[in-house]
Amino acid sequence: MTLFLKRQIPMNYPVKLFIFVFTIIIMRTYFLLFIFSIPFLLSSCFEGAECNTLSGKYIKINIYSVADGTTLPLRYSSLAVNSQSNTFLLDTLLSSIQVPLLPDVDPLTFYMNGSGFTDSILFSYTSVPRLINEDCGVEIFYDNLSILSTNLDSVYLIEPFINDNTPINVKIYR
């Protein structure tokens, strides 16, 4: 039995070198493209919508002394919104209060209970929903703040527009 050996055709050295170099160049190009595209791919995952707005969520109240106009810290046993059972602060000395606004409640009654007194203010305001953008959704803006009634002697509405930049909306003198 005779074995027939097939003779391999030797490839020319320059052709081998060309294929080798071409393969390395293509691999490096794809590798560099992959490496440089990673930051762009990752940064797109972390981008979020800027949803910070200036819409205020609180009525800002400061308490002052009738005698000299300085801030007057008072001890409150509780603060409540719309009913005495919805208490959100217990036994604290305050000269500044932020009353939370409720978009579905108008008017809003705010109770300040101290030792031997209960003060109340009935506020009215307008709730305006606005679409910020598709990513952030709808935000409630409050405007046209007014005082409908109170059992306090000296309550003044300073700013009827409610936003985060407004330092004070209502002044109470005691």
Confidence class for position 11, pLDDT limits 50, 70, 90: low
pLDDT value at position 48? 58
Mapped to the 3 state alphabet, what secondary structure does 16-47 carry? HHHHHHHHHHHHHHHHHHHHHHHHHHHHHHHC
Residues 49-58 pLDDT 10s: 667 665 668 8
pLDDT value at position 120? 92
- What span, in angstroms and rounded, lies between the C-alpha atoms of 170 and 158? 5
pLDDT value at position 73? 87
- What span, in angstroms and rounded, lies between the C-alpha atoms of 142 and 128? 6
Strand-pair partners of 109? 122
Q: What is the mean pLDDT of residues 137-145?
A: 86
Confidence class for position 25, pLDDT limits 50, 70, 90: confident
Q: How high is the mean pLDDT of the chain?
A: 80
162: helix, strand or coil:
strand
pLDDT at 100 over 90: no
Span of 31-45, 70-84, 123-137 with lowest mean pLDDT: 31-45
pLDDT value at position 132? 78
Q: Report phi then psi at 38, rounded to 5.
A: -60, -50
Among the listed residues 23, 1, 20, 24, the one whose alpha carbon sits nearest the alpha carbon of residue 11: 20
Q: Report phi then psi at 109, rounded to 5.
A: -100, 130
pLDDT value at position 156? 94
The type of residue at 36 is F
Handedness of CA 81, 87, 88, 90 (dihedral sign): positive
pLDDT at 8 over 80: no
Burial environment of residue 63 by CB neighbours within 10 A (0 to 12, 13 to 18, 19 or more): buried
Confidence class for position 162, pLDDT limits 50, 70, 90: confident
